[in-house]
Amino acid sequence: MPDARTWQVVAGSAAVGLTVSFAAVAVAGPWESGQRTAERAAAASRGHQPDGRGVPGSRAQPPAEAAAPPAARVLTAPATDPATLPTQQALAARLAPLLRDPALGALRTGAVIDAATGKLLYGSGAATPSVPASTIKIATAAAALSVLGPDHRISTTVLATGPHSTVLVGGGDPTLTAAALRTLADDTARALTARGTTATSLGYDLSLYSGPVQHPIGRNNQNIAPVTSLMLNEGRLDTSDHGLADRSTDPAADTATAFAKLLRARGVKVTGTPARTPAAAAGPQLAKAASVPLSALVERMLTTSDNDIAEALARQTAIAAHLPASFSGAQQAVTAALGRLGLPLAGAKFTDGSGLNRADALSAEQLARLLALAASPRHPQLRPILTGLPVAGFSGTLSDRFRGGPASGAGLIRAKTGTLTGVNAIAGTVVAADGRLLTFTFLTQGATSATAAQTGLDRLASALAACGC
């Protein structure tokens, strides 16, 4: 029979991120019997060393006695009984010594909130603004989901702007794939043939976005492509779909050139070289390629810490608010959207959507409260924030963390990480040993070793997972 720890792992993996309403389970995918299918596959196939780290290349099945029971047997709402609410004194006794770890750096702040009640259970400099790094993506996601809704899709379109002129219009989807571009070319070629057009010029329209295309982090950076409304596979020059990669210096022109080549291969004569249109294009729509729903974009952004998606979603939020789709317009739109959600915004600053800019500022309490809002049945549109958080020891940016020792929270913790030079952060959710769903954030600055700082943050989160206090 599984021991108590195994049951907690199962309950944590299934219940973290659930709203206090059991009915919310049905609307949050991708699920299979109430548990994310990717996590089930990872859990079933991962080999382990005694210290909990994955064995390189191992795909061994776990022992039969450690297999998870059917999700239906453990998929219950997090505890809401006031008797199970952790005491502030007990949490402080657990967390304060860990937060004093000098490996975390000179500035260390933290906040823990009970998701069911919204009560701040622990705070250390909780209201102090700090550099959030990539944990700001939680705020970007919340703003976009609240304004656009989880079903929103970003469209790349093709317009006929004249008898022999065609324009590819960027809609702001950085995840446009080569396969989607081929399908777009198929549909465009058929539409041109139906119109009796055998030859056309090709332009590309980038008017949706305004302002600088270069992130303040600088040019030729592997973290992010130039921020334009038209790009193929995030401007990556390799076959990767996440992580560091060399990027195109002009992803829009490269995408238009690739589209022209595809049209020619389909019998359409494209005259000249694709050129950027000087103004917004207008004309009948020939074809359209839509992104996956915003809910899936948010999950991908949070799981892999995707900077290109983050900047795109910040601009989509600005467009919906009738503001310029620029760094400054996005800042205004995100701030306004979070304010409408009721988030206290004293000291908050959103200079970008990705967290690459050190001028960003959020407090630990603000991030923890955002996560509590996402767990609330009052805000079901925010649920993809929780389902997109990496799972400790299993997925995304936490796949190689929480591997035994005092930081053994694998499977129990879901959290977004944040890392810049000297800046380390973690913000997420955990089902504690007493069944309470807690949201937490720890922000640090000044660490000289990112590895040591991350270990310290993992210990803090693991202490919450073990808490029956």
Note the pLDDT tens digit of each residue in 274-312: 999 998 999 999 999 999 999 999 999 999 999 999 999
* Matching residue, tokens 């205004």: 332
Task: Report the chain's mean pLDDT, rounded to a whole number.
Answer: 86
Quote the tokens at residue 308.
Answer: 């290109």
The confidence band for 221, taking pLDDT boundaries of 50, 70 and 90, is confident
Note the pLDDT tens digit of each residue in 34-69: 334 444 344 333 333 322 333 233 333 333 333 333
Q: Which residues does the annotation mark as catalytic?
A: 134, 137, 305
Separation CA 382–CA 141 (nearest Å)? 8
Domains in the chain and their CATH numbers? 4-73 (no CATH), 82-148+324-465 (3.40.710.10), 155-291 (3.50.80.20)
The confidence band for 79, taking pLDDT boundaries of 50, 70 and 90, is low
Identify the burial level of 48 via C-beta atoms within 10 angstroms of its C-beta, where 0-12 means exposed, 13-18 middle and 19 or more buried.
middle
* Phi/psi at 426 (5° precision): -150, 140
Range with the poorest average pLDDT among 156-170, 216-230, 344-358: 216-230
Separation CA 22–CA 30 (nearest Å)? 16
Quote the tokens at residue 362.
Answer: 């959020």
Separation CA 306–CA 256 (nearest Å)? 23
Q: Which of 361, 393, 376, 354 is nearest to 113 (CA)?
A: 376
Q: Cα–Cα distances in Å, from 181 out to 187, 255, 256?
A: 10, 9, 10
Q: What is the pLDDT of residue 301?
A: 98
Quote the tokens at residue 90.
Answer: 């007990």
Q: Taking the mean position of all CA atoms in its chain, how far away is CA 405?
A: 28
User: CA torsion angle for 281, 283, 287, 292 (degrees, to 10)?
Assistant: 50
This prediction's pTM: 0.85
Residue 174: cis peptide before it, omega within 30 degrees of 0:
no
Average pLDDT for 217-245: 93
Separation CA 416–CA 386 (nearest Å)? 10
Q: Cα–Cα distances in Å, from 81 out to 46, 69, 283, 435?
A: 35, 25, 60, 10
Quote the tokens at residue 267.
Answer: 């019998």
Question: Cβ contacts of residue 439 below 8 Å, gap of 6+?
Answer: 112, 113, 115, 368, 369, 371, 372, 375, 427, 428, 429
Contact status, residue 272 vs residue 151, Cβ threshold 8 Å:
no
Contact status, residue 96 vs residue 124, Cβ threshold 8 Å:
yes
Separation CA 380–CA 237 (nearest Å)? 37
Query: Alpha helix (H) ranges present in 266-358?
Result: 294-304, 307-320, 327-340
The confidence band for 78, taking pLDDT boundaries of 50, 70 and 90, is low
Separation CA 156–CA 175 (nearest Å)? 11
Q: What is the pLDDT of residue 51?
A: 28
